[in-house]
Amino acid sequence: VIASAATRAGFDALWAELSPVGRDPRTGGYRRFAWTRADAELREWFVATATVRGMQVEVDRNGNQWAWWGTPGPGAVVTGSHLDSVPGGGAFDGPLGIVTAFLAVDHLRASGVVPARPLAIVNFIEEEGGRYGIACLGSRLMVGAVDPATALALRDDNGDTLGDTIGVDPRGLGPDPEALARIGAYVELHIEQGRALDREGAGIGVASAIWPHGRWHFCFGGEGNHAGTTRLEDRRDPMLPFAEVVTHVRALAERYGILTTVGRVRVDPNGTNAIPAQVDAWLDARGAEAALVEEAVRELTSHAHAAGSGRGVRIDVQRESWTPAVDFDATLRSRLLLALDAAGTSAPVLPTGAGHDAGILASVVPTSMLFVRNPTGVSHSPEEYADDSDCLAGADALATVLEDLLLRAEAPA
């Protein structure tokens, strides 16, 4: 990569500032949940990073932060990502898109680019749904894909609602047509969460599509009782139908050719010598075809009911979120590919099974994504990693496509 010395120094500086925030020194993983102390630090970092650049910062009605180069207004070229993480997350998923956005702006300004339209860097709140359960909450609220009353009632694992903990006026939450009307195009850079680029020997890729995906809450209600005195035939143990659901969904995933994960479980009261009163589990299911995902979940739900009724366990299944398949804007993608090609970067076009705010915005504005090579493919883990040289190449690629979009007088896509 021929990233400038300034970009390299800027990357090192910004990365070093973010590194300690929300990091578990024991595992090296990050816990950066929305509207927590770690998030407040990250949001302050965002403001400070924008302010030293003379960029005006705004917080929209849903708590997303915007840093503006130029006067906020319609036709803006918008880039960015998120600063929150999954529990035990990596350093790159989210922050890389925001750090490279600031570096791209630095580079364009240093090169004397005079934009024909405003540019904004956005930090979307609660992208992972790590705290309140619904991924891309900030962008979903903005486009009206989540009802504000429903969002405000979401609870974290301590039982606190979003309404109680949110850092903006809860009465303002909801669709934000004014914020959306200013976006001419949105381009999000993200670490790849697989190994497709590595296999192709490419540092940078462009997204074609996002798989349809959703989250379901399975509640298994039994009867808490003593582990030493309750006869097996008298038990209503929710752990058993839960365990059947976990193994059955894996079989369904293989049969339907989809991906399913049960990665979050809550056992109440969670005592070694107590039969649980209740088990709550969350299913994440994704696939290339929505119909197959939906069919598998239907089948799993009937299986859960059958497994529960045989054991005196109540079953309740609720879909918490659903994101249909996203095909990113073809015109915008072609522009990105042309601009990258002119800069000597050949970028493979690839779909992904990971969700992004760009996927939510894609229903209302022209949207595209750049991916940065992930040599191991690992993500949502402390092991998530990208080489510095690929991150710098990402910043360069982002600058290239933003410049192309900023210099055009007509609408970006």
- Interface residues toward ligand HGY, by CB under 6 A: 127-128, 135, 354-355
Select from Mn ion, ligand HGY, none the partner in contact with residue 194, using the beta carbon and a kind-dependent cut-off of 5 to 8 Å: none
Angstrom distance (rounded) from CA 297 to CA 320: 13
Alpha-carbon torsion (340, 345, 349, 352), positive or negative:
negative
94 binds, among Mn ion, ligand HGY, none (CB under 5 to 8 A by kind): Mn ion
Nearer to Mn ion by Cβ, of 93 and 294: the residue is 93
Q: Which option in Mn ion, ligand HGY, none does residue 135 bind, with CB closer than 5 to 8 A by kind? A: ligand HGY
Q: In this chain, which residue has its C-beta nearest to ligand HGY?
A: 355
Per the CB < 8 A criterion, the answer to whether 186 and 365 are in contact is yes
In the complex, minimum distance from the CB of residue 321 to Mn ion, in angstroms, rounded to a whole number: 14
Burial (0-12, 13-18, 19+ Cβ within 10 Å), 369: buried
Other Cβ atoms less than 10 A from the Cβ of 272: the count is: 5
Helix (H) or strand (E) segment spanning residue 225: strand 225-226
Rounded to the nearest whole angstrom, what is the least distance from the CB of residue 284 to ligand HGY in the complex?
7
Nearer to ligand HGY, 136 or 304 (CB): 136
Q: How far is the CB of 222 from Mn ion (least distance, A)?
A: 33
Q: Single out the residue of 62, 364, 370 nearest to residue 183, CA to CA.
A: 364
In this complex, which beta carbon is closest to Mn ion, that of residue 122 or of residue 279? 122
The least distance separating ligand HGY from the CB of residue 70, rounded to whole angstroms, comes to 29
* Contact of residue 84 among ligand HGY, Mn ion, none (CB under 5-8 Å per partner type): none
Runs of H (alpha helix) within 80-147: 95-110, 137-143
Of positions 29, 63, 80, 94, contacts Mn ion by CB under 5 A: 94
211 vs 220, beta carbon nearer Mn ion? 211
What is the secondary structure of 87-99 as a DSSP string?
A: TTB-SSTTHHHHH
Q: Is 139 helix (H, G, I), strand (E, B) or coil?
A: helix
Query: Residue 355 binds which entry of Mn ion, ligand HGY, none, with Cβ cut-offs from 5 to 8 Å by kind?
Result: ligand HGY
Minimum distance from residue 233 beta carbon to ligand HGY (Å): 41
Smallest distance, Å, CB 93 to ligand HGY? 6
Report the nearest approach of Mn ion to the CB of residue 27 (Å).
Answer: 17
What is the spatial distance between Cα 35 and Cα 89, in angstroms, rounded to a whole number?
Answer: 17
Compute the least distance from the CB of residue 353 to ligand HGY, in Å.
Answer: 7
> Which residue, judged by CB position, is nearest to Mn ion in the bound state?
93
Alpha-carbon gap, residue 119 to 121, rounded angstroms: 7
For Mn ion, the binding residue among 39, 60, 84, 93 (CB under 5 A) is: 93
Residue closer to ligand HGY by CB (options 133, 222) is 133
Output helix, strand, coil percentages for the chain, rounded to the nearest 5.
35, 25, 40
Task: Report strand pairing: 259-268 vs 314-323.
Answer: unpaired
Q: Are 408 and 116 in contact (CB under 8 A)?
A: yes
Q: Which is nearer to ligand HGY, 135 or 296 (CB)?
A: 135
Residue 22: name its binding partner from ligand HGY, Mn ion, none (Cβ under 5 to 8 Å by kind).
none
Beta bridge partners of 76: 183
Name the phi and psi angles at 169, rounded to 5.
-60, 115
Q: Which stretch binds Mn ion (CB under 5 A): 68-76, 90-98, 233-241, 343-351?
A: 90-98
Alpha-carbon distance 148 to 62, whole Å?
9
Residues forming contacts to Mn ion in the complex (CB under 5 A) are: 93-94
